[in-house]
Structure 1
Amino acid sequence: MKYNILRKLIRRLIVFTILLLICSILLFYYSRNIEPKLLDVNQFVIESKSVSNELDGFKIVQFSDTHLGSDYSLSQLQGLVENINDQNPDLIVFTGDLIDNSALYKERNEITPILKQLKATYGKYGIYGNHDVGGAGKTVYSQVLTNADFTILENASKTIQLEDNHEFSIIGLDDYLLGKPNPTNAFYKINKNAFSLLLVHEPDIANRLNEYPIDLQLSGHSHGGQVKLPFHKAIYTPPLATKYTEGLYDIQKSLKPMKLYVNRGIGTTRLPVRFFSQPELSVFTLRSLK
């Protein structure tokens, strides 16, 4: 009798072990080969008193953290460009980390023709992320994006003119981990009454910028953690992306009613896996509260 019970227990243990092994293999395959190739296109409406009637309905598309390299290919980038163009954007912004390691990446000359296909009525803008400053330095990133008709905002701003002399401002800050950010220079001569869009790679910087007139900050860097447990926050996010890890936030005690959006990014870094943190494309439609 005891022998039969023992045999049953051993059989159940073996079955459980086999099932656990199969589940582990399936989960690894999914996180390594399936989820990193998905694309979550998220649509948001941003309402603000700073949005003029002429700016109402203006569409901004944000992509971030492609980390081109062995785990994110040029063919995947081509597919991303097509998805972005399908949104018919008025403005396209890239919030940093184009190549995972530009010092080792050999296909840099093939990036520009792909990014040049991106079309937006009021232009394309980019900022530096920590991987763009590291590696081979800023030179590779700046050449690739500039040749692809992007304007790089390094502690600088650009005023975009709309009909009837209405305008809005785009401000870009240098990377906070490896660069030399200077918000004083970046916000110099900004029209405080116009809609102000800030691009900065690291999201947690939002709390350091309360004295500046910002309506919407767009950031990346966090990757949404890349790996999350179900119904749980990210297991790990990098420095300066620990408070704001993904999604839309209202920033308190700011000069203007300010929103922050943290994009989960497209590629991966360190580990070539994503789990409950799909690659993301963010689409923002501006609406007037007047």
Structure 2
Amino acid sequence: MVRKQTRRTFLKKVMGSFLTVLGLSSGGYYYANRIEPSLLELNELEIKHPLIPKGLEGLRIIQFSDTHLGFQYDLSQLKKLVTKINQLKPDIILFTGDLMDEPNKYTKLNDLVPILTKLHAPLGKYCIFGNHDHGGYGSEIYRNIMESTNFKVLLNQSVKIELKDGSSFFLVGIDDAMLGNPDLPLALKNVPNNHFNLLLSHAPDLAETAAQYPIHWQLSGHSHGGQVKLPILGALIMPPFAQRYPEGLYKIEGKYSLNLYVNRGIGTTRLPFRFMAKPELTIFILRSSSFT
């Protein structure tokens, strides 16, 4: 299991990162603060596995993550994101945590609900808790918002996604690693061994633990792709539980073989910058075949 890091230690690192950012030129500062945070990147990947039934061939899943509403990201931007997601015609929508930066201080909850309600996916909308969803006594605020907008909150539990022809797979969600209590055995309790399953974990570094269980793919967020990356120095903001796997696709070898994908998220936190870490929407296409 990955060791926990205190909030104070993390904030000290963030402050050091902030001082580094101040060293950017004025043009770099403007780009990182105003331009790159709005440069949404669409990434498309195939999820291949022999346990994926042929009936699920071509099924489209969209993952978005880490909007952090109330910090730098606002509702007008969220409206545009919802429109973009719907235009991509997903069969399933997944949100992998950190909806609001500080849930108990967010004042536009009533305006937020109708926007998220407009997200449409015929096979459902599902979400998990991130650390900011728990932070600031926000757990019930987050849960109420997501459930009222027709998201199914997966808290150490699974759900069977099934088509009319009987083709199915299991979606598994665990609690956040920093401020929650992730419980993989409990989440997998009703998942049979002969079905493809997809794990949602806000924290990517839990993949090494997940690889000790019969899990095929894990989708995560939390890292923001480092949020600010500089030549030589690399990523400046690497939160706890997102230090080993900051972005993109990884193959994790454990008792079982696991594919991990880490989404860079949409918004920002701690520092109002993105540099060399564009916000991301990920489109996954299910394929019934062997790993390549």
* Alpha-carbon shift at residue 164 of structure 1 (Å): 3.1
1:76 has 2:82 as partner = no
Shift of 1:254: 4.1
Which amino acid is the alignment partner of residue 42 of structure 1?
Answer: N
How far the C-alpha of 1:78 sits from its partner, in A, is 0.4
Tell me which amino acid in the other structure corresponds to 2:276: F
Whole-Å separation in 1 of the counterparts to 2:176 and 2:197: 19
Is the 8 Å Cα contact of residues 71 and 269 (structure 2) preserved in structure 1?
no
- 1:170 match: secondary structure: strand
CA contact (8 A) 2:71 2:268 kept: no
- Asked whether 1:109 is paired with 2:106, we answer no
2:161 corresponds to = 160
Aligned AA (1:225) = G
Partner AA of 1:68 in structure 2 = L
**How many residues in Structure 1 have an aligned counterpart in Structure 2?**
269
Contact in 2 for aligned 1:59/1:90 (Cα 8 Å): yes
Compute the displacement of 1:216 (Å): 1.2
Whether the 8 Å contact between 1:50 and 1:215 is mirrored in structure 2 is no
User: Mapping of 1:93-172 within 5 angstroms?
Assistant: 93-172=94-173
Give 1:267 shift. Answer: 0.4
Q: One-letter code of the match for 2:245?
A: Y
1:33 — aligned with what?
34
Corresponding residue of 1:4:
none
- Aligned 8 A contact 1:230 1:276 in 2: no
Q: Following TM superposition, by how much is the alpha carbon of 1:231 offset from its aligned partner in structure 2, in angstroms? A: 7.4
Residues 138-182 of structure 1 show CA distances to partners (whole Å, capped at 9, x for unaligned) of 111011111110000000100111243221000000111111111
Q: Relative to structure 1, is the Cα distance of residues 177 and 70 closer, same or farther in structure 2, using a 3 angstrom cutoff?
A: closer
> What is residue 246 of structure 1 aligned with on the other side?
247
- Work out the CA distance in 2 between the residues paired with 1:54 and 1:276: 39
Aligned ranges 1:4-83 → 2 under 5 Å: 24-83=25-84
CA distance 1:169–1:275, shift in 2 (3 Å): same
Structure 2 residue matching 1:43: 3-state secondary structure: strand
Give the deviation of 1:72 after TM superposition.
Answer: 0.6
Report the Cα distance in structure 1 between the residues aligned to 2:164 and 2:230, rounded to whole angstroms: 48
In the TM superposition, residue 136 of structure 1 has moved relative to its aligned partner by 2.8
Segments of 5+ residues of structure 2 without an aligned counterpart are 1-21
Q: Deviation per CA, 1:82-113, whole angstroms, max 9, x where unpaired?
A: 11111111110000000000121101121110
Amino acid at match of 1:219: S
- Alpha-carbon distance between aligned partners in 2 of 1:246 and 1:45, rounded to the nearest angstrom: 16
Q: Distance in 1 between matches of 2:215 and 2:111?
A: 35
Equivalent-residue separation in structure 1 for 2:252 and 2:91 (angstroms): 25
**1:3 — aligned with what?**
none
What secondary structure is seen at the aligned counterpart in 1 of 2:137? coil
Query: Which residue in 1 is equivalent to 2:198?
Result: 197
Report the Cα offset of residue 70 of structure 1: 3.8
Aligned-partner Cα distance in 2 for 1:92–1:242: 26
Q: Which runs of 5+ in 1 are unaligned?
A: 1-20
| Identity within the alignment, % | 49
Amino acid at match of 1:264: R
**CA-to-partner distance for each residue in 1:34-89, whole Å, 9 max, x for gaps?**
11111001011121111110111111100000000041100000011111111111
